[in-house]
Structure 1
Amino acid sequence: MSEVTDTKAAGTDGKKVNPWLRAALEYGPIIAFFVGYMIVRDMSFTVSGREYDGFLAVTAGFIPLQAICTFILWRVTGTISAIQIATVVLVAVMGGISIWLNDERFIKMKPTILYVFFFAVLAFGLLRGQSYIKVVMDHSVPMEHEGWMIVTRRLALFFAGLALANEAVWRTMSTDVWVNFKTFGLPLAIFGFFMAQSRVFQKYGIGDDEAE
């Protein structure tokens, strides 16, 4: 899954995108990963004399699927976010290392690396007195600078917490638990975080006339 996605419903060139198509392209790969894992988790596959378990077999299919869906999303929207690029690159690199070494630990580390990266980027912006999340969301949720700084500080800490949570889950629990955590726990946590910021958006929100 793309753990955090660009919230734009249209690209910078004005292309309109069916929201159901966008959702399918953004969340389809992680749902397909979950379904595939549930089907083949107890199986093993031999390729070129090497035996791979079901988790790594599904990972091998997930890598190109994530890349293809991201490419299609870029073609239909006319834009692609840095978050989406980072996600595809990390999936390819960490998934590829896992398959190459026949070691599932590396793909499980991917969310940790991604969230640490997000934390570092947001923290760097905060040190400069800037909110980089504003660049992604201000077009859809106009808000005063102070409000964006509050949300950005909270989001940076939230990403740090998600990184720690992912490390704790994959290092101490079974692959089944991690797959469920990755598929459902992380997206729900992100959704819940932004829902919890509703008071900030209401307090510092800018009306249409003021934003214009």
Structure 2
Amino acid sequence: MDEQKQVSPLVKMGLELGPVLAFFVGYLLVRDQVFTIGGRDYSGFIVVTAAFIPLLLACTGLLWWLSGHLSRMQVMTAVLVVLFGGLSVWLNDERFFKIKPTIIYLFFAGLLGVGLLRGQSWLQYVMEGMMPLRPEGWMILTRRLALFFAGLALANEVVWRTMSTDAWVNFKTFGITVAMFLFFMAQSKLMQTHGIVQKD
């Protein structure tokens, strides 16, 4: 098994969030423009999506090269970006890319739900080294996170189906990031109640 290498948290954050921020900035720059390529007109959203795909893959590959490890979520995100982003570009239809977050969040909500039905916290399997919790703490956190992911999937559907592309880009770039930060901040009491104090 490959040993995971230590990577600077700032470098890791830059490689994970950099492509998302680049997408946001790129969209702001060209959102009102139409590009004619090969006789077809493409909106700025589609052009930025086409640029986002190789950028995300490059950053994901660099993260793997530096750390020797990628999480399941990172791998799945890369696969779905290629699939749904590619469909958006190929079919010149932005809806495919907008539905990608829904698929990701439903997948993880369902995956955690299956584990819960089996009486297991599959979240513990992935994150145990990061957050030492007692088994009951992992089960509570897993239930909450499964519901949270389902809520994000629903929110993404509501936003992209009822609001403008500008609103969706802002929601995807900032809304989801803030929601995740607040969710984990809200788990501080759970961490205190069910956390395991590690002794030296």
TM range (shorter): over 0.9
**SS of equivalent to 1:179:** helix
Q: How does 1:73-84 map to 2 (within 5 A)?
A: 73-84=63-74
**Aligned counterpart, 1:121:** 111
Q: In the alignment, is residue 13 of structure 1 matched against residue 3 of structure 2? A: yes
Question: 128, 133, 143: which is aligned to 2:123?
Answer: 133
**Aligned counterpart, 2:164:** 174
**Aligned counterpart, 2:100:** 110
User: 1:135 & 1:66 partners in 2: Cα distance?
Assistant: 26
Matched-pair contact (CA < 8 Å) for 2:26–2:48: yes
Q: Detail structure 1 runs of 4+ shifted over 3 Å in the superposition.
A: none
- AA in 2 matched with 1:125: G
Q: In the alignment, is residue 202 of structure 1 matched against residue 172 of structure 2? A: no
User: Where does structure 2 lack aligned partners over 5 or more consecutive residues?
Assistant: none
Question: Structure 1's 42 and 200: CA in aligned 2 closer, same or farther, altered over 3 A?
Answer: same
User: TM-score with structure 1 length normalisation?
Assistant: 0.92
Matched-pair contact (CA < 8 Å) for 2:101–2:156: yes
1:135 offset after TM fit, Å?
2.0
**Aligned counterpart, 2:142:** 152
**SS of equivalent to 1:208:** coil
Task: Give the fraction of aligned pairs with identical amino acids, expressed as a percent.
Answer: 59
Deviation per residue, 1:122-150 (Å, 9 max, x gap) = 00110111111112221121000000000
Matched-pair contact (CA < 8 Å) for 2:4–2:69: no
User: Where does structure 1 lack aligned partners over 5 or more consecutive residues?
Assistant: 1-11
Q: In the alignment, is residue 50 of structure 1 matched against residue 40 of structure 2? A: yes
User: 2:4 & 2:16 partners in 1: Cα distance?
Assistant: 19
Deviation per residue, 1:146-171 (Å, 9 max, x gap) = 00000000110111110000000000
Question: 76, 85, 100: which is aligned to 1:86?
Answer: 76
Q: Which has the higher contact order (CA 8 A, sep 6+)?
A: 1
**SS of equivalent to 2:42:** strand
**SS of equivalent to 1:52:** strand
Deviation per residue, 1:73-95 (Å, 9 max, x gap) = 01101111110010000000000
RMSD (CA atoms): 1.3
**Aligned counterpart, 2:173:** 183
**Aligned counterpart, 2:16:** 26
**Aligned counterpart, 1:97:** 87
User: TM-score with structure 2 length normalisation?
Assistant: 0.97
**Aligned counterpart, 2:31:** 41
User: 1:39 & 1:80 partners in 2: Cα distance?
Assistant: 31
1:101 offset after TM fit, Å?
0.8
